[in-house]
Amino acid sequence: MLDIKFIRESPDLVRRGAAAKNISIELDTLLTLDEQRRSAQTQLQALVTEQNQISRDIGPLMGQLKKAADPAVKASLEARIESMRRRPTELKAQAAALEEQIKTLEPQIDAILLTIPQPPDEDVPAGKSAEDNVELRRWGQVPPPDVTPRSHVELGQRLKLFDLERGVKLAGSRSYFLLGAGALLHQAVLRLAMDMMVHEKGFTPVTVPVLVKEPAMRGTGFFPAGREQAYRVGEINESGDDERFLTGTGEVGLTAMHMDEILDYSQLPLKLVTQSTCFRREAGTYGKDTTGLYRIHQFDKVEQVIIGRADRNESINWHQQILANSEALLQRLNLPYRVMQCCSGDLGPKNASMIDIETWMPSRQAYGETHSASRLYDYQARRCNLRYRDETGKVHFCHTLNNTVAASPRILIPILELYQNPDGSVRVPEALVSYMNGLTVIA
């Protein structure tokens, strides 16, 4: 959520930012409602000031009345005091009306504020869609195009690594079973990612809830935009206590863990990592990537989150560091990839900047997205009411960042396809052999 003061002072910047992200906003309505609320608050404060002044003035007047000998003066004082005694009743009625007006305005303002996107940073290229993203760099050797490898689907069926047909039979489209060495390979990648982040990068491991209440989804920016991608569990009732949502990323639990809290500056930055099961409806992707493990409803992901101080330069530095963490994992697995700066039209509402990593997938003869590193400044923290107190005692909203470390089984696509042998067997990446109990070839 953007600071309403920032919106008020920089409406053109906010308007341009929304247009760059292809997001329609009700900015004029928001500013009008905000002005009405500020006017009502000013009037309410004036009433409070008048009430306090009456309380201060009536005592001395009572003293003058006791001392007054002149009937005319006495009558004048009595009339004035009586008028002042009636005034609080009038003020109370006016204040109640203003408070009701503010109470009516605030939900309308909050509802629009939740839809206002964060403007893209200056380093974000202009563009309409992912087609306009800019390649920053590449790593690794892509196999020559004349080599026609087996797809991960064919390899998985030949080696009995997964069962798509029974997955669909049991749970519907985009579902699967991982079997035998396929299940072990899936776990090996996740374990490698967690070990690297905890033991080498110094992140704190956290196990997070994957079934959360709406405030956690709204606070982290997945509602209202993106609500169609979430699975809802339970019934809607008056209290909302039975309604929960399955999270699509561990980012929700890690970021919202300290919502409505004030941290001490000495605690920051929080470097958090989790492995969690993720659920996405993949709404809007009908007929796209329906075969295989690329676009599925349920997967496991190791996610890294930074909760830091309100320092833009520090956030930019952390963005590069969490990106480097993910690159280090891919390099350890020797998987060729490219790093893409997402253009304005490919950014979500909450991101100031987003950098994707796409890993080479031979069966697609293309790079496929496997990681997404986001810089959000205080956008999520304002929605989560996540703050910290600095050295002087002043309270600030935190800055947050997040990035995938490994998402499986999607990451199994390049592993299987790039490590396959001509006879249809698959070599186990050296970095994963110890996690596979010494297995070096899946045959």
Task: Tell me which H or E stretch contains 387.
Answer: strand 387-389
Q: From the candidates 87, 295, 364, 389, give the one annotated as an active-site residue.
A: 295
Q: Name the catalytic one among 369, 425, 427, 434.
A: 369
Annotated catalytic residue within 244, 375, 383, 410: 410
Whole-number Å distance between alpha carbons of 352 and 418: 34
Q: Is 372 a catalytic residue?
A: yes
Is 227 labeled as catalytic in the residue annotation? no
In Å, how far are 125, 226, 228, 249, 290 from 284, measured between CA atoms?
25, 11, 9, 19, 12
- Chain-centroid distance of CA 142 in Å reads 33
Beta-sheet pairing, 426-427 with 441-442: antiparallel
Which residue is it, tokens 């800055």? 399
Concerning whether 315 is annotated as a catalytic residue, the answer is no
Residue 220 phi/psi, 5° resolution?
-90, 0
- For β-strands 262-264 and 387-389, DSSP reports them as parallel
Three-class secondary structure of residue 366 per DSSP: strand
Read off the amino acid at residue 316: I
- Please answer whether residues 33 and 108 qualify as being in contact, where contact means their C-beta atoms are separated by less than 8 angstroms: yes
281 given a catalytic annotation:
no
280 is catalytic: yes
Three-class SS of 222-264: CCCCCHHHCEEECCCCCCCCCCEEECCCCHHHHHHCCCCCEEE
Element (H, E) at 389: strand 387-389
CA–CA distance, 151 with 164 (Å, rounded to integer): 14
Catalytic residue among 280, 382, 383, 387: 280
The catalytic residue among 372, 382, 408, 417 is 372
How far, CA to CA in Å, does 440 sit from each of 54, 140, 334?
Answer: 87, 21, 15
C-alpha–C-alpha distance, residues 443 and 431, integer Å: 19
Q: Is 29 left (phi over 0), alpha (psi -120 to 50) or beta?
A: alpha
Identify each DSSP E strand in 166-238 by its residue range: 177-178, 204-205, 211-212, 231-233
Q: Minimal CA–CA distance to 358: which of 339, 330, 331?
A: 339
- Bond preceding residue 117 cis, omega within 30 of 0: no
H helices present in 244-359, as ranges: 251-256, 312-332
Chain CA centroid to CA 424, Å: 41
Active-site positions read 280, 295, 369, 372, 410
